[in-house]
Amino acid sequence: MRISQRLRVALTAGLVLAGTVLGWSPARAAEVGTESRSLPSFNGSVYAVAFRGSTVYVGGNFTAATTHGRRVARARLAAFDATSGELLDWAPTADRTVRALATIGDAVYAAGDFGTVSGVERDALARFDAGTGELDEFAHEVDGSPRALAISQGRLFLGGDFTAVDGEERSRLAAFRLGDGELDEDWTPSADAPVYALATAGRRVYLGGSFHRTNNVASTRRLSAVDARSGALVRGFRPQPAAVVYAVAVDGDGVYAGLGGLGGRAESWTLDGRPRWSRTFDGDVQAVAALDGTAYVGGHFDRACTSPDMDKFGDCVDDSRSRVKLAAIDGDGDLTDWAPQANGVQGVRALTASPSLGVIAAGGDFTMIGGDTHHRVATFN
């Protein structure tokens, strides 16, 4: 049974965004290659990846990395160089799963299930020196489970399934000032169910999840945007995707989301919420990144459907193309030829892009890319 069947949200088969054409047509080639350079391997899942220059930080539930045939301890946090592929000495530790990472300046933020990092108590949130890995004094109490981080407008934004931070009521969303590290008492938007993904652009914070109301406003389900300074709902952006949103990305062309549901979908909207395109897969899309106008998506799908029609098992009804755990979609909504072909049941859990390097980094549960061994991380130049 596909995992998407267990996670599915009721979705009418054949649903298609108004005005979106899903026929099969020749597509431009993706900009990045399909082969990954040799990288360290990890002995457990990678849930989060984040760039800082040429450094890729990874978080997950692994306890060791293997590099050049040598096994070294890396307790749920690690870093490697995207240019050389070398494992770096950066090695703080966490006692439980790291689910989200974000970087800015000389800081790396982590969120997850942990209660202790580098031997010091930290309740689900921590901040490290990007060079040395040293833990600093940034510390907060989170009543629930963080799932996503993003940075913009002098703030660190947190999303997840929590009800309070530092004893202050917060409904699945919170912000911290980067300057002093304190909880922003004036930023108090809310969601009525878990927030799984965050993305920022300008003064907007985009939210993806299983919620139906944002700031207690109806018809703001699963994907919405709030102001990064005031927390007010951006009322002009109401795409209302038909299934749970696991991943969100944004660029100058629009907003991209990875969806679950019956099968799975990757969808895009303009910045004012008008549909651009929708593509259907035979499994959840749980990661998305945008680079040079192309959307890169990952998940636990095996096929990209040529129409939106799905059967009751979440399989493509019409023709399909092999896209095992990874695929790319151009600005017109056409599937590109990019097909690295990963493996595993869960497949790809996280994707991020570095525009300056022209690199996509992937993390997850896969152990192969294109028939070559790549344990849980990969980069595509």
pLDDT at position 263 is: 85
d(CA 275, CA 255): 10
pLDDT at position 10 is: 34
CA-to-CA dists, residue 29 to 49, 162, 293, 331, angstroms: 25, 42, 12, 12
Mean pLDDT of the chain: 92
For residues 308-312, give the mean pLDDT.
Answer: 87
All domains in the chain, ordered by first residue: 92-358 (2.130.10.10)
Question: Alpha helices of 212-329 — where are they, by DSSP H?
Answer: none
In angstroms, how far is CA 290 from the centroid of its own chain? Answer: 11
pLDDT at position 262 is: 85
State the DSSP code for 317.
Answer: S
Task: Identify the CA nearest to 49 among candidates 276, 289, 262, 258.
Answer: 289
Task: Identify the CA nearest to 112 among candidates 94, 129, 98, 91.
Answer: 98
Render pLDDT for 161-202 as a digit per residue (tens, 0 to 9).
999 999 999 999 999 999 999 999 999 999 999 999 999 999
Task: Identify the CA nearest to 378 among candidates 356, 337, 349, 335.
Answer: 349
CA-to-CA dists, residue 321 to 254, 289, 316, 327, 369, angstroms: 25, 21, 10, 10, 17
Render pLDDT for 18-27 as a digit per residue (tens, 0 to 9).
333 333 333 4
The encoded tokens of residue 335 equal: 């599937």
CB neighbour class for 149 (10 Å; exposed up to 12, middle 13-18, buried from 19)? buried
Residue 16 in this model has a pLDDT that exceeds 90: no
Amino acid symbol at 113 = D
Q: pTM, whole model, 2 decimals?
A: 0.91
Render pLDDT for 227-286 as a digit per residue (tens, 0 to 9).
999 999 999 999 999 999 999 999 999 999 999 988 899 999 999 999 999 999 999 999
pLDDT at position 313 is: 84
Calculate the dihedral angle through the C-alpha atoms of 360, 363, 366, 370, rounding to the nearest 10 degrees.
10
pLDDT at position 320 is: 95
Strand order in the sheet with 107-112: 98-104, 107-112, 125-129
Would you place residue 12 in the very low, low, confident or very high pLDDT band (cuts 50, 70, 90)?
Answer: very low
The encoded tokens of residue 114 equal: 């942990």
Residue 78 in this model has a pLDDT that exceeds 80: yes
For residues 56-84, give the mean pLDDT.
Answer: 98
Query: What is the share, in percent, of the chain residues with pLDDT greater than 90?
Result: 88
Render pLDDT for 120-167 as a digit per residue (tens, 0 to 9).
999 999 999 999 999 999 999 999 999 999 999 999 999 999 999 999
